[in-house]
Structure 1
């Protein structure tokens, strides 16, 4: 399996097909040795009734990018990733444009991983700060 930046981003974006990530138009756009970044458009589709980005959409973006990060940093052929706890602090609203979610690996244990996800607006201002704990479980063999 090729592990170039382009190949990893292509695999992450392929995972989005027919999922919530596709519905929210989440696109993986960058990868480093300890982080993964995804972008999501802010349109009425992800607004709350008063016309700003819904916190639930931000949390869905954060869990998507954190879980995908755990997936690419682990042996994804033999293990599955599940989010087991998430907490979010929303500090700024966004009405339109794009938000980027940067997931950084804080702790990589044998079974659990701790991720910090910063959601930033187009001016690179903090919109939400989210913490995600994932667990690694054996893949079911078919």
Structure 2
């Protein structure tokens, strides 16, 4: 299972790292991550950019999927996501807690709650479906019936 330190290292020069997303804990049952609010994740109206919140939640759910890949899987990709934005913030830290809802062989469904750490206010509810990827079979050696 990947460690928070390893994931943060991998994401350092990717979108999560550019937005300041930090994975704080990961297990098969829960992922926690956070993001300091700064100018990189603020919209022109002065509030959190919705895409920043979605990126925090999607990153957390993806890390949960990564920690729970079935045997033989080579990876995953997000095939559906939905977010309900219930509030916003201008400063402080937003935190995300992610849990699995469905852990199938071909798909996983993850839920996340994003909240403002200082006030405890819920910022967004998020759900995504991950498609599990497997290496392609060698068709030259596969007998088709």
TM-score, normalisation: structure 2: 0.85
Instruction: Give the 4+ runs in structure 1 shifted more than 6 A.
Output: none
Deviation per CA, 1:49-93: give whole Å up to 9, x if none.
111101111111111110111001225884211000010000011
The offset of 1:14, in angstroms, is 2.4
Q: Which protein shows a greater Rg?
A: 2
- Corresponding position: 1:28 with 2:23: yes
Q: How big is the alpha-carbon RMSD for the aligned residues of Structure 1 and Structure 2? A: 1.8
Give yes or no for the alignment of 1:102 onto 2:97.
yes
- Which has the larger displacement, 43-52 or 25-34? 25-34
Indicate yes or no: 2:60 matched with 1:65: yes
Q: Are residue 54 (structure 1) and residue 46 (structure 2) matched?
A: no
How many angstroms does 1:15 deviate by? 2.3
Task: Give aligned pairs, total.
Answer: 135
TM-score by length of 1: 0.87
Gaps of 5+ in 1: none
Match of 1:42 in 2: 37
Determine the C-alpha separation between the residues in 1 that align with 2:121 and 2:46: 19
Q: SS where residue 3 of structure 2 aligns?
A: helix
Alpha-carbon contact 1:8-1:72 (below 8 Å) kept:
no
Structure 2 residues not aligned, in runs of 5+: 137-145
